[in-house]
Structure 1
Amino acid sequence: MKTSRLGGSTLEVSAICLGTMTFGQQNSESDAHAQLDRALAAGVNFIDTAEMYPVPPRAATCGRTEEIVGTWLARQARDRIVVASKAAGPGRSLNWIRSGCLDFDLASLRAGVEGSLRRLRTDYIDLYQLHWPARNQPMFGQWQFDPARECAATPIGETVAALATLIDAGKIRQYGLSNEHPWGVIEFLRQAREQGVPPPVSLQNAYNLLNRVYESSLAEVCYRENVALLPYSPLAFGTLSGKYLTDPQARGRISEFPGFGQRYAKENVVRAVTAYVELARANGLTPSQLALAFVYSRWFVASTIIGATSLAQLEENLAALSVELSPEVLGEIDAIHLRYTNPAP
C-alpha cells in the first residue's frame, strides 16, 4: 500500500487509516482484532482512536476502544504501527472523562495522554490530536459562526506550549488538530512559530461527496503550511452507500443512534445521494466505491480514515483503493457538487 509523509513530520502513514470508533459498541473485541489483523495484512499501518470512544459516548463504555486497540497493539511490533488518538475538548457534556476537566492546558492534556497510554499499553502516541476546538466555532453539522456563543477557553498559545512539553517528555511524537477551521489552523501555526516549538502536522476533518468545505479555504492553508488532511466519514456515516434511500431504517449508526447523524439530515442530502448513486451504477461501480475512490484520489489527502462494522465492509473499503475514476466521472461528480453544493457541511 502506498504511504506518505504526514505533513512536516517523519511519520510515514498508509493511504488508509483504520478508524476504531465502533470498537466496544458495534464491534466486540474479537471483531475489532479481526479488523485490525486484516487491515495490517493489507498494508495499513495507521490506526486512529480517541479517549472518548466508542461512540455514541457513554460513561459506561468510555475508553473501551483504546483498551481494545491496546490488547491488539501489545502483540505487534510497536515501531510498525502509527497510533493516533485524540483528547476530548470542553463544551460537551462528557463529565466522566478526566473528571470533567477537559481544558487544553498542560495538566488536563497530560492527564489525557497518560490515560490513553495506559489503555493503549504503549509508552508513546505517534499522533495526538485535539478532538475539537476549545473555543466557540461551528462544528459537527453546525455551519454558521455565532459570536453570541463565545465562551472561555484555554488560549491556543498555552495549548501549543503544553503539547510541546508532552513531545519533549516523549509521551507523544507529533500533534494534530481536528474539526478545525482556517483561523484555528493559522493561529496554531503562528503560536508554534513564535514559541519556536513543533507545529501541528495534520488536520482531521469530515470530507466526502456531501461535504467538500475543506476545498475552499483550508486546502490552501494546509498546502502552504504542510499540514496533512486526514479525512473522516468518507461514506458520510453510510449515507453515501445509498442504503438509506431504499430503507431509512437500514442498519447503521444513523438508524441505531437517533440524533447521531444530524449532519446528514439536511434537505438536499437525499437529492445529492440519489445523483451519486445513479452515477456510480451507470459506471459499473457500487455507490461506496465511487465515494471512497473520490476521497482516496484527492491530491490533498494524506490518509483516509475508514470505519467498518464487519470484515465485508472493511474489504470493500480496502478494495476501493484500486478503483481509478476517469476524468469524465470526476467531471460528473463536480457537476453534481455544483448542483447540490455541500448539503452536509
Structure 2
Amino acid sequence: MNMNRLGRTKIEVSEFCLGSMTWGTQNSAEEAHDQIDRALDAGINFIDTAEMYPVNPVSAETIGRTERIIGLWFERDMRREDVILATKHSGEGLAAVREGAPISSETIPEAIEGSLRRLKTDYIDLYQFHWPNRGSYMFRKNWSYDPTSQLMLDTQEHMVDALGALQEEVKRGTIRAFGLSNESAWGTTKWLEAAEEMGGPRVASVQNEYSLLCRLYDTDMAEMSVQEDVPLLAFSPLAAGLLTGKYQNGAVPDKSRMSLNGDLGGRKSARAFDAVDAYLDIAQRHGLDPAQMALAWCKTRPFMGSIIFGSTTMAQLETCLGAIDLTLSDEVMKEINAAHRQHPMPY
C-alpha cells in the first residue's frame, strides 16, 4: 500500500481510506467492525467519519451512531495506534447537530469532546470542517452558486476565531491536524493565509467529491493542492455507485443507495448513464472491473492524498481492495481521457 503525507504534517495515510457513512443504518456494528479488520489487513490505515453519520437517511435518532460504532471497535481491539482517524464538525445547516449552530470557537470544543466521547479515544488525527459557514457550491449547487452574499470581513473574522480554538485543541492534544471539506480554492487559500498570519494549524487536506463523473477539482483546486501542499481526500470516487454499472438500464438493486436516495444526491441523469456506458465499455474491452478501474484512475491524479470508498457488503469491499495493486495502462488512460472529453460534467 502506498502512503502519502497529509500536507505539511508528519501524518502518513494510506492511498485508500475506508469510509464509514453507512455504518449504523445500512450496516450493523458487527459488519462495520469486519470491514475495519479487513481494510487494516489489506494495508489501509485511514478511516474517515463525521459526527453527523450515518446517512441514508440522516436523522436526529442516528446522529453520532457511526462514531460510536468505531469507538466500540477501538474498545474491543485496543488498536488505536494502528489507525489514522478523521472526523468532521457539521456546522451550520444541520439542525439535528447542536441545532445547526455554525462553526465557531464556541462549538469547536463541544463538537470535539462529543466526538472523542463517542469514538472512545483521547485524540483525533484529522479534524475537518464538513462545509464552510459561508456556503459551498458542492453537491450540485455549482449550477446556481452565488457568492455575492459573502462578506469578506465576516469570513476573515470567522477564520481567525476558529483557528484560535483549533490551536487550543492542538495544544491540549485532542487533535493533530486540521482539514477542510466541500471547500473552494479561494476558501482554502484564505484559511492558509489566516494560519500563516496568526500561527494557527495549517490546512492539511481538503475532502471534496471527485470521480470520473465529477471532476470540478481538476482546475483551480488542483493547482492549489499542488502549489500549497494541500492534498485531496476524494469522496464518492465511484459516484455513489454509478461507476460500478449496477444502476444501468433502469436497475435499482434492493438495499442499494438509489433505493434509499432516488436521485443519488443529484447525480442521477441521462447524461450520467451515457458517461457510465462509455467507462463500462473501456473496462470491458480491457478486462477490468469498472469499480477498480475508477479507483485506480483516481490514484493517477497528481493532487491525490487518499481515496475514500465505502462499502455495504464485504463483496463490495473486496472489489475495492482489488484496486490497490492495479495500474492502468497508457492505452486505458488515453481512452478514459477521450471519454471524459465526450462526457464532461454529466451531472
Indicate whether the TM-score tops 0.5.
yes
Q: Distance in 1 between matches of 2:230 and 2:150?
A: 27
Q: Map 1:262-281; keep pairs closer than 5 Å.
A: 262-281=265-284
Matching residue of 1:57: 58
Matching residue of 2:78: 76
Matching residue of 1:171: 174
Matching residue of 1:111: 110
SS at match of 1:205: strand
Q: Map 1:108-257; keep pairs closer than 5 Å.
A: 108-143=107-142, 144-147=144-147, 150=150, 155-251=158-254, 252-257=256-261
Report Cα offsets for 1:259-294 as digits up to 9, x if no partner.
Answer: 5x1331244211111100111101101211211111
2:7–2:205 CA contact under 8 A, matched in 1: yes
Q: Distance in 2 between matches of 1:172 and 1:317?
A: 29
SS at match of 1:262: coil
Structure 1 counterpart of 2:71, one-letter code: G
Q: CA deviation at 1:249?
A: 1.7
Matching residue of 2:312: 309
Q: CA deviation at 1:141?
A: 1.5
SS at match of 1:79: helix
State which drifts further: 7-16 or 295-304.
295-304
Q: CA deviation at 1:322?
A: 1.4
Q: Distance in 1 between matches of 2:320 and 2:258?
A: 19
Matching residue of 1:258: 262
Structure 2 counterpart of 1:76, one-letter code: M
Structure 1: 4+ residue segments shifted above 3 A:
147-154
Q: Distance in 2 between matches of 1:330 and 1:287?
A: 13
Structure 1 counterpart of 2:86, one-letter code: A
Q: CA deviation at 1:76?
A: 2.9
For structure 1, the 5+ residue unaligned runs are none
Q: CA deviation at 1:257?
A: 2.3
SS at match of 2:341: helix
Structure 2 counterpart of 1:210, one-letter code: L
Q: Distance in 2 between matches of 1:147 and 1:8?
A: 30
SS at match of 1:145: coil
Q: CA deviation at 1:148?
A: 6.0
Q: CA deviation at 1:147?
A: 3.9
| TM-score for both structures, normalised by structure 1 | 0.94
Q: Distance in 2 between matches of 1:37 and 1:187?
A: 39
Report Cα offsets for 1:26-76 as digits up to 9, x if no partner.
Answer: 000110010011011111111100000000210111100000000001223
Q: Map 1:25-44; keep pairs closer than 5 Å.
A: 25-44=25-44
SS at match of 2:235: coil
Q: Distance in 2 between matches of 1:109 and 1:289?
A: 37
For structure 2, the 5+ residue unaligned runs are none
2:2–2:15 CA contact under 8 A, matched in 1: yes
1:3–1:13 CA contact under 8 A, matched in 2: yes
Q: Distance in 1 between matches of 2:182 and 2:147?
A: 18
Percent of residue pairs bearing the same amino acid type: 44
SS at match of 1:187: helix
Structure 1 counterpart of 2:37, one-letter code: D
Report Cα offsets for 1:144-172 as digits up to 9, x if no partner.
Answer: 42146658777222222222221122111
Structure 2 counterpart of 1:103, one-letter code: P
Q: Distance in 2 between matches of 1:39 and 1:267?
A: 34
Q: Distance in 1 between matches of 2:108 and 2:199?
A: 20
Q: CA deviation at 1:258?
A: 3.0
Q: Distance in 2 between matches of 1:276 and 1:67?
A: 38
SS at match of 2:240: coil
Q: CA deviation at 1:101?
A: 4.6
Q: CA deviation at 1:217?
A: 0.8
* Residue-pair matches, total: 340
Q: Distance in 2 between matches of 1:262 and 1:4?
A: 30
SS at match of 2:13: strand
2:226–2:302 CA contact under 8 A, matched in 1: no
Report Cα offsets for 1:169-197 as digits up to 9, x if no partner.
Answer: 21111010001111110110010011122
Matching residue of 1:86: 88
Q: Distance in 1 between matches of 2:119 and 2:217?
A: 31
Structure 2 counterpart of 1:64, one-letter code: R
